[in-house]
Amino acid sequence: MTVGMLDLAQIQQLENEHQPSLYAKREIALVRGEGAYLFDSDGRRYLDAMSNYGVAILGHADPEYGSALSEQLHTLATGHQSFYSDVRAELLSEISSIAPTVLTRYFLSNSGAEAIEAAIKFARVATGRPNLVAAKRGYHGRTLGALAATADQKYRAPFEPLAPTTTHVSFNDIAALEAAVDDQTAVVLLEPIQGEGGIWPASPEFLQAARDIASKSGALLIADEIQTGFRTGAPWAIDMSDVVPDILVTAKALANGFPIGLTLCTEAISSALPSGTHGTTFGASPLACRAVIVTLRLLRERDLYARSAALGTELMNRLNALGSPNVRQVRGRGMMIGVELKERVTPTLRALQERGVLVLPAGPTTFRLLPPLIWEQEQVDEFVVAAESVLLAN
Ligand SMILES: Cc1ncc(COP(=O)(O)O)c(C=O)c1O
């Protein structure tokens, strides 16, 4: 059977028959992307305000991105890190130009959760301590170590007991964080803006306190920038503060859709790692490295950090200006925006989809915008018109 020949009913039947029923699926099949838009199997066009959970930062089917990957595919696609690679060397040099100065060592893997696992393992080795402190509403992934750091019982409970002991404290509660960190804490793990939990920015005071508390106790501060990375107007959301973490983790947008994870750490942490104790077959392949190199180059050349900061602020202002009685709060930074409703979010997701706009939920009452950074004024206007009709509908 040729996949391109399947109609919606056939696609749904095959997926429903052969996948574990882990996802509550929306009823459309996305088959093609072009720039800021996605197309379903019936040819209907949608404005993409989700970029696959924050991944497709350059939008879809970008010709320069495609050519760079295609050329690399035709040169050398795969290659283990036990050999040197020209593309990997180029990539590491690129990363060092955007990394906080003290983070000089970069471990590449294949997903966000894998990058978090590496961070936790590195911190445990470097500190000789076992435990984690993370935040309520925080999300760090679904492998066992990353899941132990994730707060929501919905994700954790079916798989318990989980590996490391984690204490979850209220986000932005400095006293709670201070009380939770002790001489067994290896890691204080935080998102600078909580994504899955509902787009909740950390206060500058909380981030600074987390830095101070971790340093005082001998724990390491890990910034999870898997969702925030590259979309808050700068490479990192912690750039809004003076805080420098001991480990920074990113994934999602870093390669614009090619699976990737990146764990950046200090020289001291790196030198505590015995050779051969951690690794991955696929991580840092020439193809993955090429995908990162071209993504970072296009972000820079197209000035997308500055543009997304400006358009993100405009979007938030205009959503606020709608004055919808159904909206509790609009919050975020750059192209990472949450709209918290006074009611459950699913009907609004559906209504926006019916109007040709795809957004994501973030918790039960918030919808989230993680648009590609290539949005221009036209897409902002289109989104606001759709949001107005949905949010002011009743
Ligand atoms: C902040 C954060 N950390 C970790 C993860 C896990 O990343 P992945 O789904 O690539 O394993 C996510 C994914 O949504 C995330 O948003």
Protein residue with its CA nearest to atom 10 in ligand 1: 112
Range list of H helices, the chain:
8-18, 51-54, 63-73, 86-98, 112-127, 144-149, 153-156, 174-180, 204-217, 267-271, 286-301, 304-321, 346-354, 377-391
- The atom of ligand 1 lying closest to the CA of 261 is 10
Mean pLDDT split into 10-residue runs, the chain, 394 residues: 78 96 94 98 98 98 98 97 96 98 98 97 94 96 87 85 87 98 97 98 98 98 98 96 97 98 98 91 96 98 96 98 97 98 97 98 97 98 98 85
The pLDDT of residue 72 is 98
The pLDDT of residue 320 is 97
Tell me the pTM: 0.96
C-alpha distances out from residue 265 to 94, 268, 321, Å: 16, 8, 42
First CA to last CA distance, the chain: 46
The pLDDT of residue 353 is 98
131 lines ligand 1 (CB under 6 A): no
Distance of CA 154 from the midpoint of ligand 1 (Å):
15
368 lines ligand 1 (CB under 6 A): no
59 lines ligand 1 (CB under 6 A): no
Protein residue with its CA nearest to atom 7 in ligand 1: 112
The pLDDT of residue 159 is 78
Angle at 115 between CA 110 and CA 116, to 5 degrees: 145
280 burial class (0-12, 13-18, 19+ CB within 10 angstroms)?
middle
Q: What pairs with residue 187 in β-bridges?
A: 132, 220
155 lines ligand 1 (CB under 6 A): no
The pLDDT of residue 394 is 63
- The atom of ligand 1 lying closest to the CA of 251 is 10
Tell me what percent of the chain is helix, strand and coil, each rounded to the nearest 5.
40, 20, 40
117 lines ligand 1 (CB under 6 A): no
The closest of 122, 144, 115 to 284, measured between CA atoms, is 115
State how far the Cα of 288 lies from the Cα of 158, in Å rounded to an integer. Answer: 33
The values of phi and psi at residue 339, to 5°, are -120, 105
120 lines ligand 1 (CB under 6 A): no
The values of phi and psi at residue 343, to 5°, are -145, 175
C-alpha distances out from residue 381 to 51, 281, 311, 388, Å: 18, 44, 10, 10
3 state DSSP class of 386: helix
